[in-house]
Structure 1
């Protein structure tokens, strides 16, 4: 729940004379950066695993490349957050984009020289994902600075809604590109998107206000510890971090077992187009969630949204797991996907609202390290292990159990707060 002091802080931020979101030049450029880069990244999400398999014929290495988006958060999450809070965020983001473009462009170049190897593809996948992590670490502080804390929910809703759309579009585009081009050449689409992103971020950097004066910079180790202390010492944010990790665990379990569930649970085999409907429903649900969140935040505080969205997600998960009609599964997955994104973006928005500007990178990359870096791969691993031993319905049920556990956690905190009384509640 939200304390009166925190509500006053958010209210005070709302009294800013900052213009509406759509009129903010900096946000428009930032939005274009994220959308174009997201489209290119969606293409490589499909193309790089295909290219890896062509080069290595190793399912293990293909899995490594597919997981490249989350591995860097485990390895460099704390470091990236500390770096983003110690340097100019825009310059960091531009540098990450330019270096990412160079890394990706090395693949078609090596293919043209007939020197491309599987090892290079794997290294590029991990390197580009690591650079994207440093870009994201800058994003957490840049969004509140550009749009103001009163507009974070709306801004994040627009950003994540657009990313859901371009993810669907990009994966479809990847299939078409691989018909027309060699997979190595198709990677160039993402390299160009990184360069375009860098140009748009540079345009944001030319805002007249610039960055706020830098605060005292502690040592690197102390800097990391400071972010961890803030996250652990904020009861609501700590609870939301656990919820986000459980939610991401569920996402990893769902996506990781979708093909197996389609085959063994719904009777959709081989290359049946209905498998694509299941994936599209989950992603499209995110679009609905991104549109819904700003409206919810105008009526409910961040914690109460969790009280509603998590139980709904658990119930919809049961509908998916227990049903055997693919049409019901498609609808339930779409609505579940909406509730799923509402929880994740609501948690991120709240974190950006309550975290001091100088701690944004450290606090939010730590949260992301636990959710995406730990929750997603762990969910995929546990679900696949349970599926092998007990069957696909049991494997998919791990996702439902994770969401139900998150719901039980927030409701137990809520009940405890009601028993203690308003004077004991701290945000």
Structure 2
């Protein structure tokens, strides 16, 4: 089935999401390459990625309050237009030879702020556009568009375009955002926030109201913690994968790239099948099964001595993660009050965005002290414990309103 089968409004949202994430993937490769053309210092080049990810840690919680208080459609359009203008300015700077590393850092950070707001707002755009029964299918296609653009297609395209001309990936990123803004602007005007008695003008108090709701909701709070655990464990093994391939499997770097590609394809398959699996098992059993499947995949990967078993483990873990993202997002959209969805989404995403770098740090330390296999295998019991918690809490059909 195609995006169009969910209606023309959803088709425009899907296309805008695909274009925006393709541009993000292109930019994620182009900006470090641009920095590398100005400096050979590894810290300076790596700092570009840090500048782009920092907004989630600094502004992730507040972003939800901003999304909940404004018309989300107009906010996304404003953000995409703002990022288009910034990239146009960087394009001119590159063409005139006036671009500096400081410029690149500023653009990476500003685009990261926009991405934080846009990703939060996009999660609130979907429910009014599709039937409730179609949410898993709609989310699955959106998640696949995000993964394909950000991880599978965007970065290699960005690297290739940079090799053709430094300015080309930056200009194309601006073009994809401009098209995405036009498509979002064409959506129906059904995203204005409902009037509430909440005091306006106090962003932090509104942010805390969303956090209080999340903490009091046993199912949603548990789901957020489990998502963070999944992301933490996933980063633990991924950060040592390149060394595992080279030192344990004794394979060339090209095989590492192939395995990463297999993992990305596994995630896409998971996103595609998520709706069917939920219809077959139900949401809570699906989430529990995802954690167990990921544990099995990591066990295969950690014990692998040949590339076939490693590839199967990567595909299983990545597919489970893809299904998890779709089902968790759908459950959050169904269970959260409309006027709090932005804040609950941003809080949950901030948990994941914080857990990922922490997991990478812990994985690196474990790999150094106890071996590369340990960094992969120690995640297995963590996922099994998480699966038990998911089964105990998420299978509850209803809970009192927080």
Q: TM-score scaled by structure 1?
A: 0.86
User: Paired residue for 1:197, among 169, 176, 180?
Assistant: 180
Q: Distance in 1 between matches of 2:398 and 2:82?
A: 51
Equivalent residues of 1:164, 1:284 under 8 A apart: no
Partner of 1:188: helix, strand, or coil? helix
Q: Distance in 2 between matches of 1:87 and 1:425?
A: 28
Quickly say closer, same or farther: Cα 1:71–1:265, change in 2 above 3 A.
Answer: farther
- Residue 21 (structure 1) shift: 6.8
Instruction: State the distance in 2 between where 1:151 and 1:35 align.
Output: 19
CA distance in structure 2 between the aligned counterparts of 1:387 and 1:59, rounded to whole angstroms: 22
Looking at structure 2, the residues matched to 85 and 101 of structure 1 have their Cα atoms a distance apart, in angstroms, of: 24
Q: Which moved more, 1:168-177 or 1:235-244?
A: 168-177
Contiguous gaps of at least 5 residues in structure 1: 1-19
The alpha-carbon distance between structure 1 residues 261 and 108, as it changes in their structure 2 partners (threshold 3 A), is farther
Structure 2 gaps of 5+ residues are none
How far apart are 1:425 and its partner, in Å?
A: 9.2
Quote the residue 2:36 is aligned against. 53
* 8 Å Cα contact 2:71/2:193 also seen in 1: no
Tell me how far 1:26 sits from its aligned partner.
1.4
- Higher mean C-alpha deviation, range 377-386 or range 403-412: 403-412
Of the candidates 212, 217, 222, which is equivalent to residue 239 of structure 1?
Answer: 222
Counterparts of 2:378 and 2:170 in 1: how far apart (Å)? 35
| RMSD, matched Cα | 2.4
Deviation per CA, 1:259-318: give whole Å up to 9, x if none: 22221222123xx32121111111111111111111122233322212211111101101
Quickly say closer, same or farther: Cα 1:254–1:104, change in 2 above 3 A: farther
Per the normalisation by structure 2, the TM-score is 0.91
User: Is 1:361 the equivalent of 2:345?
Assistant: no
Equivalenced residue count is: 397
Q: 2:153 aligns with which of 169, 185, 192?
A: 169
Superposition pairs for residues 100-119 of structure 1, below 5 Å? 100-119=83-102
Structure 2 equivalent of residue 307 of structure 1: 288
Pair 1:404-2:384 in alignment: yes
Residue 23 of structure 1 and its aligned partner are, at CA, apart by 4.8
Contact 2:297 2:315 in 1 (8 A): no
**Structure 2 match to 1:296:** 277
Q: CA deviation at 1:202?
A: 0.5
Q: Secondary structure at the match of 1:116?
A: coil
1:138 to 90, 100, 121: 121
Q: Does 1:89 align with 2:69?
A: no
Aligned-pair CA distance for 1:391: 2.3
**Residue in 1 aligned with 2:356?**
376
Aligned to 1:256: 239
